[in-house]
Amino acid sequence: MSVRHPFSSRSSRARARDRDRVDVSDHEGPLLDVKDLRTWFDTPAGTVRAVDGVSFGLDRGRTLGVVGESGSGKTVLARSIMNLLPRRTVIPAGGEVVFAGRNIRGLGVRAMGRLWGRELAMVFQDPMTSLNPVVKIGRQLTESLRHHLHMPADEARETAVALLASVGLQAPERRLQEYPHQLSGGMRQRVTVAIALACGPSLLVADEPTTALDVTVQRQILDLLQAQQRDRNMAMILVTHDLAVVANRTDEIVVMYAGQVVERAPTATLFGQMRHPYTEALMGSIPRIENPSHTVLQVIPGRPPSPVDLPRGCRFAPRCRYAQARCRDEDPPLVEDDDGHAYRCFFPVGTAVTTGNDRVEEVGV
Amino acid sequence: MPDSRATTPPVVTPATVDDSLPVGAPEGPAAEHAVRGNGLDPTLPAVLTATAGSKRRSRGRGVVFWLALVWLAVVVLVALTASWLPLSDPDKQDLVNRLAPPLSDGHVLGTDGLGRDILARLAFGARVSLIISVSAVSIGMLVGGTIGLAVGFFRGWFESVTMWALNVVLAFPGLVLLLGLVAFVGQSLTAITLVVGFLSVPVYARVARATTLAAAQRDYVLAARALGASNRRIMFGEILPNVALPVAAFGLVALGVVIVLEGSLAFLGLSVKAPDPTWGSMIAEGRQHLSTTTHLAFIPALVMFLTVLAVNFVGDVLRSRFDVRESRL
C-alpha cells in the first residue's frame, strides 16, 4: 500500500505498523455505502426517530453534502456513520454502514479504534469545545500520530509543524506550545482540521464545520477543507444547514428532512432542477444580493415535526405549499430517475400540480 | 501581496493569511478576502486590551502575594534546615530563664514554662506542621482524585457503590473519628499523617468526580474518541488535565485546614508525643500561663495564623492564574 501520509519519511516501525493497517485502497466499489440507516433514541418522551432510513453511497475522492434544518437528523447521521453515539440510549433499529466493504455499524470501541483517526476522521462544529482547553496544541496534534503511526516524538513534532503549516497557520512551531484559548476561532478550527487530517484518513466527516465561526472565516475554512480533500484524494461528508455552503464544493447533495432523505442528486442536477418542494423552499429562503433592500425574506412556514410524533403521510406535507390530500395519507417513497436524481415526493416541483400556481413569481427562483 | 505582508501586525490574527502559505492553503478569492480583512481586523484591539487587563490585575495582587510567598518560603526553609541553624536545642530546659519575655538575652522570642527556647521550638514545630499537611493532602489528592476520576468516567454500579461508601465515611463526625483512630493507631507522625490523609479522601473524590462528569461530556472527549483514543488515554490525557486543577486548588486550601487540624489534635494532646514540639502543642502549653504571660500561646498562634493565611492567599492567586478554562476562551 502506498504511504498516504504526505509529510514525512516514515520510521520502520511505522511502516511495519502500516502492514496491519486496515487496508481500504484495494477495495472495489464505493468507499462508503450507507444502507437504510436507522438511528432511534429511547427517551422519556418516546422513541425519537432521528435518522430514519437513510441510504447513499460515496466514492473515494468525492464530496457529499448533507443539508437540512436544525433537527433534521444531520448530526446524528454523521455520528452514526462514525459510530460515535452513546450506546446506552440508541435503539438498534437497523441499517448498514459499509465502509470499504465491511459493515462497521455497531462495531465495538476496540474494533472502531483501528478505524477512528486512521480511516475515519471528524471535524466538529465548535472549535471552542472540540479542543481541550488545558492541553497544548502540540500534544493534541501529535497524540494520534504517535499512537496510530508510532512516530517517535521528534518526528511527530516535525509532522505536526508541517500539518499546521498546511492548514494555513503561521508560525506553526510556536503554535505547538500554545493553548487553544490563545488562538482565534478560525485558527482553532484550522487546528481541528489539522488534527483530523493527521493520520491521513480516507473519509472525513465535517459536521457543520463553519457554523460557529465568523462569516469572514467560514469561507477560508471551507476552502481549506476542499483543498485538503482534493490534495489527499479523500472522501468527505460536509454537513451543513446552508445550501450555499455546499453549492460549489460537493459532487452530490443529500437533503434531509425529519430524519429522511427527501432529495438526493449530483450537485449540478440538484441546483439545475430541484424536484422536492422542501429543497425549493430552502433555496428560496436564501436572501439574494440583487433583491432590493427591505425585501421580505422567504421563510418556510411552520416548524419541523417532532421526531417522537411524526405526521401521517409525507413528513413535509404540513408545511408544503403544494400538498394534496394524498400527501397527508400516504408516505411517498424515495424514487430515483435515470440521472441518479432521487426525491421523495408525489408531486415534484416542475410537474402539473406545482406549476399550476404562481410559484416562479413568488419564490423568485 | 508583499505590501500586505509588510503591514501585517506582529500579532498573528485570524485573518492573517498571506501568500507565504504552503500548498493547500486557501487561495484566490479567500486569500484576497483575508488580506483585505487585515486592515480593519476587529479582533486585534480586543486581544491587546484583554492581555493588558490581565497583566494589570496580576500586578495589583503583587505585594501581598509576594509577602505571602516570602513568608511561606521562610517557613519551609527554616523547617528544612532547622537542625543546622544556630538555634538552641528545642528540648533543652533553661530553668533559670523560665518564661523569659521576647528579645531577652539569648532567647529572641523568649522561653516557655520550662525555659525552652520558643524560636527553636517554632522552627522544629514547623517540620511537623509541614510534613503532616503536605503528606496528608498528597495522599488525599492522589487516592481521592484517582477514585473520583475513575467513578466519574466509568459510571455504572461501580460509581454507586463507591460513592455510597465515601458518603458513609463523610457522614462520620470528622474530629471524633480522627480522635478514635489516632488513639487506636498511635501517636506517631506517620500514623497521624495517614489517618488525616485517608479521612480526606472522600472530599477529593467528590470534587474529582464532579469535574470528571462535566469534562467527560465535552466535545473534545468525543473528538479524542473519534481519533481512536482508548479509554485510558481519554481518562489521563483529556480529562485528567481538566480535573487536576480544581482538585489541586482544593488541596491548596486543604493545606491550611490540615495545619489547623494538627493544631487541634495537639491541643487535645493527641498529636506527636511530647516533648517533640508542634505549633499546636506549644499553644496548648502556653494556655497554662495565659494569665501571666501571653506570648507563650500568642507567638505560635500568630505563626500558625500567618502560615495558613499565606497558604490560602498563594493558593487563591495560583488557582486563578493557572485557571485556563472556558471562561477565558
ipTM for this prediction: 0.79
Mean pLDDT, all residues of chain A: 84
Predicted local confidence at residue A266, as pLDDT = 93
Cell 485557571 found at:
B323
**What is d(CA A161, CA A174) in angstroms, rounded to the nearest whole number?**
9
In a domain, A316, yes or no: yes
Predicted local confidence at residue B26, as pLDDT = 42
The answer to whether residues B123 and B192 belong to one domain is yes
**What is d(CA B243, CA A135) in angstroms, rounded to the nearest whole number?**
12
Residue A231 sits at the chain B interface (C-beta within 8 Å):
yes
What's A116's DSSP letter? B
**What is d(CA B258, CA B50) in angstroms, rounded to the nearest whole number?**
37
In a domain, B1, yes or no: yes
The answer to whether residues A27 and A174 belong to one domain is yes
What's B238's DSSP letter? I
| Chain B environment of A196 (Cβ under 8 Å) | 226-227
The nearest CA of chain B is from the CA of A324 a distance in Å of: 43
In a domain, A18, yes or no: yes
User: What average pLDDT does this structure show over A135-139?
Assistant: 91
User: What average pLDDT does this structure show over A281-304?
Assistant: 82
The answer to whether residues B10 and B137 belong to one domain is no
In a domain, A232, yes or no: yes
The answer to whether residues A122 and A222 belong to one domain is yes
**What is the pTM for the complete model shown?**
0.74
In a domain, A76, yes or no: yes
CB contact under 8 A, B237 and A143: yes
The answer to whether residues B30 and B122 belong to one domain is no
Backbone Cα Rg of chain B:
28
The answer to whether residues A249 and A353 belong to one domain is no
In a domain, A260, yes or no: no
Strand, helix or coil at A47? strand
The answer to whether residues A283 and A170 belong to one domain is no
User: What average pLDDT does this structure show over A214-236?
Assistant: 90
In a domain, B48, yes or no: no
Predicted local confidence at residue A1, as pLDDT = 40
In a domain, A329, yes or no: yes
In a domain, B58, yes or no: no
Predicted local confidence at residue A353, as pLDDT = 65
Residue A303 sits at the chain B interface (C-beta within 8 Å):
no
**Alpha helices per DSSP H over chain A:** 12-19, 74-82, 109-113, 127-130, 137-148, 153-166, 172-176, 185-197, 215-232, 243-247, 267-272, 277-284, 352-355, 359-363
Residue A72's nearest CA partner among A314, A315, A258 is A258
Residue A62's nearest CA partner among A228, A272, A236 is A236
**Alpha helices per DSSP H over chain B:** 2-7, 29-39, 43-60, 62-81, 118-139, 145-154, 156-171, 174-185, 189-199, 201-216, 219-226, 231-233, 240-267, 279-287, 295-322
Domain boundary among A200, A220, A255: A255
Query: B275: cis peptide before it, omega within 30°?
Result: yes
When CB atoms are compared, the residue of A116, A118, A223 closest to B30 is: A223
Its domain, for residue B18, covers 1-38
| Chain A environment of B228 (Cβ under 8 Å) | 112-118, 144, 147-148
Residue A84's nearest CA partner among A107, A67, A61, A100 is A107
| Chain A environment of B37 (Cβ under 8 Å) | 216
Residue A147 sits at the chain B interface (C-beta within 8 Å):
yes
Predicted local confidence at residue B41, as pLDDT = 43
The answer to whether residues A223 and A299 belong to one domain is no
Chain B residues 14-43 with CB within 8 Å of chain A = 14-17, 20-27, 29-30, 33-34, 37, 43
**Strand order in A120-123's β-sheet?**
A120-123, A203-207, A235-240, A63-67, A252-257, A260-266, A342-343, A335-336
The answer to whether residues B32 and B73 belong to one domain is no
Higher pLDDT, B289 or A206: A206
The answer to whether residues A181 and A287 belong to one domain is no
Strand, helix or coil at A93? coil
Examine the pLDDT at A218 and tell me if it is beyond 50: yes
Task: Tell me the C-alpha to C-alpha distance, in Å, between residue A45 and each of A48, A208, A303, A309.
Answer: 8, 27, 18, 10
Backbone Cα Rg of chain A:
22
pLDDT under 70: residue ranges of chain B: 1-61, 321-329
Percent of chain A with pLDDT over 90: 40
The answer to whether residues B86 and B188 belong to one domain is yes
The answer to whether residues A140 and A189 belong to one domain is yes
The answer to whether residues B103 and B169 belong to one domain is yes
Strand, helix or coil at A264? strand
In a domain, B152, yes or no: yes
In a domain, B49, yes or no: no
Pairing of strands A203-207, A120-123: parallel
**What is d(CA A313, CA A84) in angstroms, rounded to the nearest whole number?**
31
The nearest CA of chain A is from the CA of B26 a distance in Å of: 6
- Amino acid found at A101: G
Please return the burial class of B168, using the count of CB atoms within 10 Å of its CB with bins 0-12, 13-18 and 19+. exposed
User: What average pLDDT does this structure show over A103-119?
Assistant: 87
In a domain, A208, yes or no: yes
**The C-alpha cell that represents B163 in the structure block:** 460513592
Predicted local confidence at residue A64, as pLDDT = 95
A195 falls in which pLDDT band (50, 70, 90)?
A: very high
The answer to whether residues B101 and B137 belong to one domain is yes
In a domain, B203, yes or no: yes
**What is d(CA B297, CA B304) in angstroms, rounded to the nearest whole number?**
11
CB contact under 8 A, A130 and B13: no
| Chain B environment of A82 (Cβ under 8 Å) | 226
Candidate from A166-175, A236-245, A304-313, B17-26 with smallest mean pLDDT: B17-26
Number of structural domains found in chain B:
2
Q: pLDDT tens for residues A78-95?
A: 999 998 888 777 887 788
The nearest CA of chain A is from the CA of B163 a distance in Å of: 22
Residue B10 sits at the chain A interface (C-beta within 8 Å):
no
The answer to whether residues A152 and A282 belong to one domain is no
**What is d(CA A45, CA A40) in angstroms, rounded to the nearest whole number?**
13
- Amino acid found at A118: R
CB contact under 8 A, A82 and B226: yes
**What is d(CA B175, CA B189) in angstroms, rounded to the nearest whole number?**
17
The answer to whether residues A16 and A160 belong to one domain is yes
In a domain, B45, yes or no: no
Q: What is the CATH number of the domain that holds B246?
A: 1.10.3720.10
A339 falls in which pLDDT band (50, 70, 90)?
A: confident
The answer to whether residues B18 and B117 belong to one domain is no
- Amino acid found at A136: K
The nearest CA of chain B is from the CA of A135 a distance in Å of: 7
The answer to whether residues A126 and A204 belong to one domain is yes
| Chain B environment of A141 (Cβ under 8 Å) | none
Percent of chain A with pLDDT over 70: 89
The answer to whether residues A355 and A238 belong to one domain is no
A351 falls in which pLDDT band (50, 70, 90)?
A: confident
Closest chain B residue by Cα to residue A146: B229
Number of structural domains found in chain A:
2
Predicted local confidence at residue B309, as pLDDT = 93
- Report the DSSP beta bridge partners of residue A54: A37
Q: CB under 8 Å to A204, separation ≥6 — which residues?
A: A121, A122, A123, A196, A197, A225, A228, A229, A234, A235, A236, A237
**What is d(CA B148, CA B151) in angstroms, rounded to the nearest whole number?**
5
Q: Which residues of A68-94 are buried (b: 16+ CB within 10 A; e: fewer)?
A: bbebbbbbbbbbbbbbbbeeeebeebe
Predicted local confidence at residue B285, as pLDDT = 86
Its domain, for residue A335, covers 274-363
Strand, helix or coil at B67? helix
User: Residues B72, B82: contact at Cβ < 8 Å?
Assistant: no
When CB atoms are compared, the residue of A124, A133, A148 closest to B223 is: A124
Q: What is the CATH number of the domain that holds A138?
A: 3.40.50.300
The nearest CA of chain A is from the CA of B24 a distance in Å of: 5
CB contact under 8 A, B245 and A134: yes
In a domain, B208, yes or no: yes
| Chain B environment of A217 (Cβ under 8 Å) | 14-15
The answer to whether residues A333 and A192 belong to one domain is no
Candidate from A244-253, A287-296, B239-248, B297-306 with smallest mean pLDDT: A287-296
CB contact under 8 A, A144 and B33: no
User: What average pLDDT does this structure show over A306-315?
Assistant: 87
**What is d(CA B249, CA B235) in angstroms, rounded to the nearest whole number?**
20
Predicted local confidence at residue B29, as pLDDT = 44
| Chain A environment of B13 (Cβ under 8 Å) | 184
**The C-alpha cell that represents A70 in the structure block:** 436544525
**What is d(CA A147, CA A153) in angstroms, rounded to the nearest whole number?**
11
Residue B204's nearest CA partner among B150, B156, B273 is B150
**What is d(CA B20, CA B2) in angstroms, rounded to the nearest whole number?**
9
